Structure 1
Amino acid sequence: MLAAPQHPEIQYLDLMRRIWTEGSERIDRTGIGTRSVFGTTLRFDLAGGAMPLITTKRVYWKTATRELLWFLTGETNIRPLVLQGVGIWNEWPHARYVRETGDDIPLDSFVERIRDDEAFAANWGDLGPVYGKQWVDWPTYRYRPDGLYEAGEGVNQVAQVVESLRNNPGSRRHIIEGWNVAELDRMALPPCHKTYQFHVADGRLNGLLYQRSCDVALGLPFNLWSAALLQRMLAQQADLEPGEFVWMGGDVHLYLNHAELIEEQLQREPQGHPKLEILRRPPTIFDYSIDDFSVADYTPHGALKAPVAV
């Protein structure tokens, strides 16, 4: 008798275990310290609505989806997220505000001001040219006859990928890139999930995400969901079936102050096989809303919380 196929989440848990038991201990940018390995790969089949939605702890997939939809608007201010109750970017502008003003305002109070005061949000809620800006409005420059440069029309990489998937599926240039070297120092956080590439074979859309840096406990569950969701949306817009999603990590790490979360999660077993249904096909990839997505068979273990390293 053939053995039952391994639950796809096991590879995530195996990676977590390997980092925690074998990873190199390092002092990182945040000063907290990590255990890290370099160069890893996970693979997930998205056929039949399957999604890499982690079940050994609750992942708030609607929060991750709202963030992805925010990226696709090109917005870089946290206020639209705050107004939806999404707080995953709050720590970075708060830290900048405290550093630059000397006003040690609590994070909750800062977020309330972002929500309630549009002018305050305009001054202090912006993250710089992070993901969405690069995805849909990558800056270009023109050389003028007088020897100076001026801004040209921004490049919408996402729209270009949709167009190329439809009209040139065999291309090896279906790429969305976030690592704009010229603008890294203006970003609150340089892109971690930096390069997306897509590949069409036998009517299926395969996707690959390369992530230069990955917090496996807190960040990776969101990254897996968001990248697979983007792939599913692109497939729908290009009249393709979802294929394989490949995740590749560079510096893949766990924070030393996440020990309680990690050790609890490693004792849990995956349960269920979450599936995503996209309830309608909008006119463009930029017209999806949170109500367009429905998840079934998601019965995860309880949430596990740990502090975010800024």
Structure 2
Amino acid sequence: MSMSEQAYLDLCKRVLEEGTKKEDRTKTGTLSVFGHQMRFDLAEGFPLLTTKFVPFRLIVSELIWFIQGDTNIRYLLKHNNNIWNEWAFKKWVESDEYTGPDMDNFGHRANEDPSFKELYLKEMDKFKKSILEDDEFAAKYGDLGSVYGSQWRKWRTSKGETIDQLKGVIQAIKQNPDSRRHLITAWNPEDVPSNMALPPCHTMFQFYVADGKLSCQLYQRSGDIFLGVPFNIASYALLTYLIAKECGLKPGEFIHTLGDAHIYSNHIEQIKTQLKREPRNLPNLHIQDFQTIFDLEAEDISLENYDPHPAIKAPVAV
């Protein structure tokens, strides 16, 4: 059994047993603990959960999107990735230009009312089509503001300049691997209240080089344990693999530190189902040779020997 996956399953058990009931922004309700850390030895294999199917291609295209500094969902839609749609869709249906049926509180209503869900899906399909085919519409409603890609690659300074944090960290790892300053932050206090579709949940990460290995620690202020955290584990593990490869290092550990770690009330039964399953062997990651991660395409990254249990569906809290 993979000790890496067990770290995640132990988090699930802890929150079910010790979690405090809390209200939240989405009005769904959660069980929550504050402060938890998981460690994943990347030598064991790639830490993609096996107790349920996790769509690796979505993780890859989202990470490439971040790395490229993109903040518009058009790139994701071109790669059949719909994980950020709801936040862009919300921006559109709350605008003065939207003239369709009432979409207020669409996330909850779609889960509770089948007739509304059918209406919502039709509006979402129209929205996605417009993003893909209409440049002006995509520029206005597909952009999510200063989210991860923008902060990683184009952090705005008080002088009106920008800082490419990701490129700078990679250069620093190559030139001064023992530095304690290999950090990237996505939490920009100026942008959080007004210029982001969703304030960053994974707020800061740091790289560490020892014995020819590159490790990464992520601080995540808020973690949706069932839907979000499995993506976050795999995404930052993948980023660690990619940067290690560019810098001529081996992947070391991924350390995941969580602030508010929570299970949404409408995910509890899904978590219980997952906990009844036995973990399987972790898959292996294959990356095509490249000069720099900024030239990578999603097709350059693949997974081998991934044999998970079936997917477990759950609604997204928006």
Structure-1-length-normalised TM-score: 0.92
Matching residue's letter, 1:45: D
1:140 aligns with 2:149: no
1:272 aligns with 2:281: yes
Name the residue aligned to 1:308: 316
Report the Cα offset of residue 79 of structure 1.
0.8
Matching residue's letter, 1:32: T
Question: Which stretch of structure 1 is more off in the superposition, 22-31 or 8-17?
Answer: 8-17
Report the Cα offset of residue 274 of structure 1.
1.2
Matching residue's letter, 2:21: E
Say which SS state the counterpart of residue 100 (structure 1) adopts.
coil
1:100 aligns with 2:91: no
| Number of residue equivalences | 295
Name the residue aligned to 2:220: 211
TM-superposition CA deviations, 1:26-72 (whole Å, max 9, x none): 00011010000011011111126x21100011111111110000011
Say which SS state the counterpart of residue 12 (structure 2) adopts.
helix
1:67 aligns with 2:62: yes
Matching residue's letter, 1:81: L
Percent of residue pairs bearing the same amino acid type: 47
Q: Is the 8 A contact 1:56 1:300 kept in 2?
A: yes
Say which SS state the counterpart of residue 252 (structure 1) adopts.
strand
1:226 aligns with 2:235: yes
Q: Is the 8 A contact 1:175 1:198 kept in 2?
A: yes
Q: Is the 8 A contact 2:2 2:281 kept in 1?
A: no
Matching residue's letter, 1:252: A
Name the residue aligned to 2:198: 189
Name the residue aligned to 1:287: 295
Q: Which is richer in helix?
A: 2
Name the residue aligned to 2:168: 160
1:237 alignment partner, one of 224, 241, 246: 246
Report the Cα offset of residue 141 of structure 1.
3.0
Say which SS state the counterpart of residue 295 (structure 2) adopts.
coil
Question: Which stretch of structure 1 is more off in the superposition, 222-231 or 94-103?
Answer: 94-103
Find the aligned partners of 1:301 and 1:290 in 2 and give their Cα distance.
24
Point out where structure 2 has 5 or more consecutive residues left out of the alignment: 102-119
Runs of 4+ displaced beyond 4 Å: none
1:296 aligns with 2:304: yes
Matching residue's letter, 1:93: A
Find the aligned partners of 2:178 and 2:6 in 1 and give their Cα distance.
33
Matching residue's letter, 2:43: A
Q: Is the 8 A contact 2:2 2:280 kept in 1?
A: no
Matching residue's letter, 1:287: D
TM-superposition CA deviations, 1:193-217 (whole Å, max 9, x none): 1111001111111110110000010
TM-superposition CA deviations, 1:255-307 (whole Å, max 9, x none): 00112311211111111221112121x22121111222221221001111111
Point out where structure 1 has 5 or more consecutive residues left out of the alignment: 143-150
Report the Cα offset of residue 124 of structure 1.
0.8
TM-superposition CA deviations, 1:121-148 (whole Å, max 9, x none): 1111110110000001101232xxxxxx
Matching residue's letter, 2:167: A
Name the residue aligned to 2:26: 30
1:54 alignment partner, one of 38, 49, 55: 49
2:255 alignment partner, one of 227, 233, 246: 246
1:121 aligns with 2:129: no
Say which SS state the counterpart of residue 93 (structure 2) adopts.
helix
Matching residue's letter, 2:53: R
Q: Is the 8 A contact 2:2 2:282 kept in 1?
A: no
Matching residue's letter, 1:194: T
Find the aligned partners of 1:270 and 1:6 in 2 and give their Cα distance.
7
Q: Is the 8 A contact 1:7 1:270 kept in 2?
A: no
